[in-house]
Amino acid sequence: MISAGDFKNGITFELDGQIYQVVEFQHVKPGKGAAFVRTKLKNIITGATIEKSFSPTDKMPKAHIERKDMQYLYNDGELYYFMDTETYEQLPLGKDTIGDSLKFVKENMVVKVLSHKGNVFGIEPPTFVELVVTDTEPGFKGDTATGATKPATVETGAQIKVPLFVNKGDVIRIDTRTGEYMERI
């Protein structure tokens, strides 16, 4: 059992016969009245998002989510193919299941395929990835404003903000949870 006061992003639990994942949460302590936890929840089976408030003492059964390492093989336009690295079985998944979680994943990278009781509901990319910058404006000498950024496209096609000193062809490390530039390698 998990109490609403212990919510963190990514925690999954059962509520009304459905499995929900916490997308956002906020502990609210109003001046008058009791404290409560305001949440945004994603139904992992249907993909629907709801907002719900809980008392911090509310308890729900925790849902067991299986995370299995699988290698991303390729995309044929409609389906994305993943291979179990132990059995070599392939698993095709649709765009609705994956969402935008593969925007920083190249072919042959290992990702975690998330499932609940055999139903696959999502993909978890590696926390950090190293990608090549394929397109960005050149930085100008003397253009060293602190914290200034420019748009860049990486080899997977994703757009991110990078510091002015990053050039086309550079390899950079990206945090896939936030989509932010970490460092040049």
Predicted pLDDT at 140: 61
Question: For residue 114, what pLDDT band results from cuts at 50, 70 and 90?
Answer: confident
Mean pLDDT of 34-49: 88
Predicted pLDDT at 51: 94
Q: DSSP secondary structure string, the chain?
A: -EEGGG--TT-EEEETTEEEEEEEEEEE--SSS--EEEEEEEETTT--EEEEEE-TT-EEPBPP-EEEEEEEEEE-SSEEEEEETTT--EEEEEHHHHTTTTTT--TT-EEEEEEETTEEEEEE--SEEEEEEEEEPPP-TT---TT-EEEEEETTS-EEEEETT--TT-EEEEETTTTEEEEE-
Tens-digit pLDDT profile for residues 127-165: 999 999 999 988 665 556 667 888 999 999 999 999 888
Q: How far apart are CA 10 and CA 167, in angstroms?
A: 34
Tell me which CATH code domain 128-184 carries: 2.40.50.140
Q: Looking at domain 2-60, which CATH architecture does it have?
A: Roll (2.30)
Domain with CATH 2.30.30.30 in the chain: 2-60
Predicted pLDDT at 143: 59
Domain with CATH 2.40.50.140 in the chain: 66-124, 128-184
Q: Which residue has the tokens 């530039």?
A: 181
Predicted pLDDT at 141: 59
Tens-digit pLDDT profile for residues 50-101: 999 999 999 999 988 888 999 999 999 889 999 998 999 999 998 877 878 8
- CATH class for domain 66-124? mainly beta
Mean pLDDT of 1-7: 90
C-alpha distances in Å from residue 105, one per residue of 51, 52, 126, 173, 176: 30, 32, 8, 12, 9
Residue 47 φ/ψ, nearest 5 degrees:
85, -5
